[in-house]
Amino acid sequence: MTTDHDIAAVRVRTLEHIVEHEQIWERMAAQYRVTNPVPPWKTSLDAMCDALDEEGEALPVLTRREDEDRISREVYSSLPYPENQLVALAHSLVTRNVINETELADRLEVVRARLDVAGD
């Protein structure tokens, strides 16, 4: 398990790929001709944070929020909000072994496939 002091030092290649390819909502929305300025996943992100906060066992509230702040600032500062919040949460969950990176990558591929079908 990763300690609090080194969580930002852990590399999560799946998330680095998102940053490297500038996969941000503004760019993706333009590519898929979506006019809504709010990412469709923002509601799910908020709900997931609320559920994690309420559950508290997998990732205590203060730990989650501190992780998000630190990782957003130290690792994903090039991303705009709310993308930085999303990848910071994913980074924290992977680093703290709540989910594994393979599962995260697989889930992202499912989402990308849906976008590709919708964009055709």
pLDDT tens per residue across all 120 residues of the chain: 455 558 899 999 999 999 999 889 999 889 888 899 999 889 999 998 899 888 877 778 888 899 999 999 999 999 999 999 999 999 999 998 989 999 999 998 998 888 777 666
Is 113 strand, coil or helix? Answer: helix
Pull the structure tokens for residue 7: 């969580």
Burial 6-34 (b: 16+ CB within 10 A, else e): ebbeeebebbeebbeeebbbeeebeeeee
pTM over cut 0.85:
no
The pLDDT value given to residue 3: 53
Is 24 strand, coil or helix? Answer: coil
